[in-house]
Amino acid sequence: MANMSKKQSNRSISWFDSPDRDRKRRIATYKMYAKQGKVKTTFNEGIRWIKRKCSNLLHHY
């Protein structure tokens, strides 16, 4: 490492500010939001199902 010039040492750190890394982080964020939306939708559908079943029990018996 002592033989590395400043240019080479800067190149080894360049992955930290790489546009590809930023793109991967952005895509991961999009996937996370998509997953949150699916979980929320599934939860709301379950709540609706429970409400419908309870309502049917009360109104039909």
pLDDT, tens only, 31-43: 999 999 999 999 9
Is 42 among the domain residues? Answer: yes
In a domain, 10, yes or no: no
pLDDT for the residue numbered 13 = 58
Instruction: Name residue 19's amino acid.
Output: P
Could you tell me which residue, 58 or 13, shows the higher pLDDT?
Answer: 58
Residue 52 domain flag: yes
Q: Which long-range contacts (C-beta less than 8 Å, at least 24 apart) are formed by 13-17?
A: none
Rounded-to-integer distance, Cα 54 and Cα 46, Å: 12
Question: Which DSSP state fits 5?
Answer: -
In a domain, 14, yes or no: no
| Predicted pLDDT of residue 60 | 77
Number of separate domains in the chain: 1
- Please indicate, yes or no, whether the overall pTM of this predicted structure exceeds 0.75: no
Q: Where in the sequence is the domain holding 53, given as residue range(s)?
A: 20-60
Express each pLDDT in 42-56 by its tens digit: 999 999 999 999 999
List the alpha helices (DSSP H) in 1-61. Answer: 6-13, 19-60
